[in-house]
Homo-oligomer: A and B are copies of this chain.
Amino acid sequence: MLREIEVALGDRSYPILIGEGLLESRCEPLRELAEGRQVAIVTNPTVAALYLGPLRAQVETVAAGLIDVQLPDGEEYKTWESLNRIFDALLEARFDRRSLVIALGGGVIGDMAGFAAAVYQRGIDFVQVPTTLLAQVDSSVGGKTAVNHPAGKNMIGAFHQPRLVLADVGSLRSLPPREIAAGLAEMLKHGAIADPAYLESLERDMASLVACEPAAMIAAVARSCEIKSAVVAADEREGGLRAILNFGHTFGHAIEAGLGYGQWLHGEAVGAGMVMAAELSVRLDLLGASGRDRLLAAIAAAGLPVAGPDWPVARYLELMQVDKKAEQGVPKFVLLEDLGRAVVRRAPEAEVAASIAAHIG
């Protein structure tokens, strides 16, 4: 089974191929892109041990040159210093503006390799080969690339669309269960904001998805990519609609920032964040209590936290002030009008505080 989703962005459109064993078999779209070009595979040592060999073998017979750049693993290395190691390698190998960067790894590698491609000689092509579930359903769709700054996550970055995404669900079986759960958080989010039928299918297939069964996983990854692609195509640069993809993220980013990056996985913070956002939706009379409870149960079934760290509410509020979705210091929230339908609006601070207090500890 091979699914292909087209992300429709005019002359920046690109396909996402989703299947099992893509990394080991010959992938013609990838080989066509690499043909005659200098190619750099950016990855980390953990992923390299598993997949760098097969990917190199596919590319090296057609590329004009092939290097790999291995960066240390983890969100705490999503920095300018790591980015500079990519630039150093590209420049040392005299890569020109026709070169191609392939990001092989999770969201951290994709964000850094994508941002490096966005700004190397003012922009070169790149391909995403996401090997984590989170990256397959989230960070590989939409062209958001970035590095962190000590003052905030993803503060420095660019919109830069890949030319091709290869999502091999076979690579998910090597992941620890926490990382599968973190990906499921974003998939639940897609259902919650845009597609009640998809949310139901996730609830129904949750055991198969937690076990990474290929058929269920390919179908769900494809549906998540379709939903995210449709939102991104309608609003490439986050003018409006795309904001709904931040459901759970205003709270989630506060958790990540407060803990220091790398303590909770992004998807885990989003899991607890979605519970808080659903709570806020209930308190503002947008969503029924049963909708909140159903979402909370699905988040728990995926193996995700349903409560944030036990901090004073004031600490959450302070952390949310610097979130980049804030405008002039007043945060906006993505809320649910129903399961499957999202809206963006400001909320009274008292209700925000109460929603946090109800789901910590």
**Residue ranges of A at the interface with B (Cβ–Cβ < 8 Å):** 38, 64, 80, 84, 87-88, 91-92, 94, 96-98, 115, 118-123, 144, 146, 149, 151-152, 154-159, 237-238, 321-322, 324, 326-329
Q: Which B residues lie within 8 Å of A84 (CB)?
A: 80
Contact B157 A122 (CB under 8 A): yes
Copy tally for this chain in the complex stands at 2
Q: Which B residues lie within 8 Å of A91 (CB)?
A: 149, 151-152, 155, 322
Contact A159 B38 (CB under 8 A): no
Contact B159 A88 (CB under 8 A): no
Q: Which B residues lie within 8 Å of A38 (CB)?
A: 328
A158-B118, A159-B122, A324-B97 as given contacts; A88 in contact with B144, CB under 8 Å? no
Q: Which B residues lie within 8 Å of A327 (CB)?
A: 96-98
> Which of B80, B92, B155, B321 interacts with A120 by CB under 8 Å?
B155
For the complex formed, measure the closest distance between the CB of A35 and the CB atoms of chain B, giving whole angstroms: 13
Contact B98 A328 (CB under 8 A): yes
For the complex formed, measure the closest distance between the CB of A192 and the CB atoms of chain B, giving whole angstroms: 24
Contact B120 A156 (CB under 8 A): yes
For the complex formed, measure the closest distance between the CB of A149 and the CB atoms of chain B, giving whole angstroms: 6
Q: Which B residues lie within 8 Å of A96 (CB)?
A: 324, 326-329
For the complex formed, measure the closest distance between the CB of A254 and the CB atoms of chain B, giving whole angstroms: 15
A84 closest partner in B (C-beta): B80
28 contacts between A and B (CB under 8 A): A38-B328, A64-B328, A87-B155, A87-B156, A88-B151, A94-B321, A94-B322, A94-B329, A96-B324, A96-B327, A96-B328, A98-B327, A98-B328, A115-B119, A118-B158, A119-B157, A120-B155, A121-B155, A122-B144, A122-B146, A122-B154, A122-B157, A122-B158, A122-B159, A122-B238, A123-B158, A123-B237, A158-B158
Q: Which B residues lie within 8 Å of A329 (CB)?
A: 94, 96
For the complex formed, measure the closest distance between the CB of A280 and the CB atoms of chain B, giving whole angstroms: 21
CA distance A322 to B98 in the complex (A): 14
Contact A119 B322 (CB under 8 A): no
CA distance A88 to B150 in the complex (A): 9
For the complex formed, measure the closest distance between the CB of A101 and the CB atoms of chain B, giving whole angstroms: 14
